[in-house]
Amino acid sequence: MFRVPWVCSRCLVRPARTSIYQGLLLQRRTYKTDLSPALLTHARTLAVEHAALSTQLADSFDAKIAKRIGELAQVADTLKEWDNANETISELQSLLDDPKTEAELKSLAIEDLESSKLTLPSISESLKKALIPRHPFAELPCLLEIRPGAGGDEAGLFAFELMKMYIAFCSRRGFRCTIIKKEGGEGSAEDRLSEAVLEIETDGAYDTMRTESGVHRVQRVPATEAKGRTHTSAVSVMVLPSFPETGSGTDGAHGFDDPNSDYYIDPQEVRTEKMRASGAGGQHVNKTESAIRLTHIPTGIVVSMQDSRSQHSNRKKAWQVLRAKLAEQRREAREQELVELRRGAMGGVARMGRGDKVRTYNYGQSRCTDHRSGLTVHNLDDVLAGGQGLESVMDSVRTWFGDREIAVMTAEASINHEVQRRA
C-alpha cells in the first residue's frame, strides 16, 4: 500500500511562495525597442546642430552654447557609433554577397557580422536614452510634500509612515534630508500628519524622487478600526524642485531675480502676513509667535510656516516652498500645453499628473503595486523601510518614464516625417 505521510498543504506551497517573495515579480509594460527612421532623422538634425555649435564655440566662448553642446554631445557620439556599426555591417554584407570572396574570408565575415549585429540593439537603446530630453529640474535638490487625502485619521497615520519611509530611503541612499515643516493633526498625536515638507539637499535628488509624485493609496485595517474592516485611504505626495538661494544662482533658467525668467516671482505679487497679536510690541512683550504666511495673489497659492522660532527663517523656508510650488506649476502648465498639441496630432497621450493614483500599498496581501509600471513587490515591510523594494519600484517607474518619453517622441517624429514627405 502507499503510505504517504500527511503533509499540510500550506507547507507544500511554501517553497514556491518564498521564491515569489525573494524574486521581485517583474511585469513591466515595455514599448517597441527598434529605432524608427523618424527618430533617426531627429537624431541626425540634433547631430548637425551639435557640429554647428561646436564650430561656433571654437570662435567665441559662450556658457549657454557650451551647455547645449554638453546636452547634445551624447546624441552625436552615439549616432556616430550607430553609423559606424551600420557601415561595418553593410561592408561585411557586400563582402559576403561578392561571389569572388574566398571561403575562409567568408566564414570570418559571417562571424564579424554576427558580433556587430549583436551590438546594434544596445547602441540603438543608448541612442534612445540620449534622445530623451533632460528634465529641466533634473540636477536640482528637491522638496517632498506629503499631505493626507481622503480617509481621515487613517490617511494622517499613513502619511506619517510614508514620511518615515522617505527619510529611511534618503539615509540609505546617503541623501541629506531635513524636515522643514511638520504639522500633526488636532491634538499632540505624534504619529499622524496633516502636512509635512522634507527637504532633500543632495543635487539630483529631484530626478531620483520625481517618480514619487502622485496619489499613494493604502489598503489596510487601520489601528483606529474596531471592527476589523479594511479601509482605503489616500496620501498625496508632491515632489517640488528646490532652488538654490537667490544671488548665488548663475543659471539663467532658474533665476528668480531676472524678470525675464520663467520662474520669476514678482515680490509685489506676494502678500506676506505676520501672525501678530494686536497691542504693544518691541521690548514691551516677548511673543514667541513666529508664524509667517505667504500668499501668491495671481495663483492663490498659500504657504504658511511656523516650525522655527525665528520669523526670519520661517519666512525664508516659506519662500523656498512657494518658489518650488510655482516653478512646478509653471512647468506643468507648459507640459500640459505640449500634451494638448500632441493630442491634436496623435489622438491621446497618457499623462500622469499629481492627481492620479500612482501606487497602492496593500497590507493584507503585503504587496506594493505601482500602477504606472505595473510592478508589484511582495515585500511591503521592505518597501516601507525604504529598502531595496522601494528602490526597485522607483527604478521601474523611471524606466517607464523613459519608455513613454521615447514612445511619444517616436510618434511625434514620425508625424513630422510624414508631413515633410507630403510637402
The residues binding other proteins (CB under 8 A) are 186-188, 267, 270-291, 293, 306, 308-313
Q: Closest distance between other proteins and the C-beta of residue 290, in Å?
A: 6
C-alpha 36/C-alpha 409 separation (Å) is 10
Burial of 286 (0-12, 13-18, 19+ CB in 10 A): exposed
196 versus 270: smaller Cβ distance to other proteins: 270
Cell numbers that stand for 273 in this block: 502676513
Cα pseudo-dihedral 181, 136, 71, 202, rounded to 10: 0
Cell numbers that stand for 349 in this block: 497621450
What's the start-to-end Cα distance of the chain, in Å?
84
Other CB atoms within 10 A of residue 183 CB: 15
238 versus 321: smaller Cβ distance to other proteins: 321
C-alpha 320/C-alpha 198 separation (Å) is 12
5 versus 282: smaller Cβ distance to other proteins: 282
Do 270 and 257 form a contact (C-beta atoms < 8 A)? no
22 versus 288: smaller Cβ distance to other proteins: 288
Do 272 and 251 form a contact (C-beta atoms < 8 A)? no
Q: Closest distance between other proteins and the C-beta of residue 252, in Å?
A: 20
C-alpha 285/C-alpha 302 separation (Å) is 28
Q: Closest distance between other proteins and the C-beta of residue 203, in Å?
A: 21
293 versus 371: smaller Cβ distance to other proteins: 293
- Of the candidates 321, 13, 23, 51, the one whose C-alpha atom is nearest the C-alpha of residue 179 is 321
119 versus 308: smaller Cβ distance to other proteins: 308
Q: Closest distance between other proteins and the C-beta of residue 149, in Å?
A: 23
275 versus 352: smaller Cβ distance to other proteins: 275
The label of the residue with cell 489596510 reads: 220
- Of the candidates 222, 204, 162, 157, the one whose C-alpha atom is nearest the C-alpha of residue 185 is 157
Q: At what angle do helices 103-131 and 37-59 cross, to 10 degrees?
A: 70
Q: Closest distance between other proteins and the C-beta of residue 265, in Å?
A: 12
64 versus 271: smaller Cβ distance to other proteins: 271
Q: Closest distance between other proteins and the C-beta of residue 139, in Å?
A: 25
60 versus 248: smaller Cβ distance to other proteins: 248
Q: Closest distance between other proteins and the C-beta of residue 198, in Å?
A: 17
Q: Closest distance between other proteins and the C-beta of residue 245, in Å?
A: 11
Q: Closest distance between other proteins and the C-beta of residue 415, in Å?
A: 49
The label of the residue with cell 571654437 reads: 58
270 versus 394: smaller Cβ distance to other proteins: 270
Do 261 and 253 form a contact (C-beta atoms < 8 A)? yes
Cell numbers that stand for 393 in this block: 519600484
Burial of 379 (0-12, 13-18, 19+ CB in 10 A): buried
Cell numbers that stand for 86 in this block: 551600420
Q: Closest distance between other proteins and the C-beta of residue 380, in Å?
A: 20
Do 165 and 158 form a contact (C-beta atoms < 8 A)? no
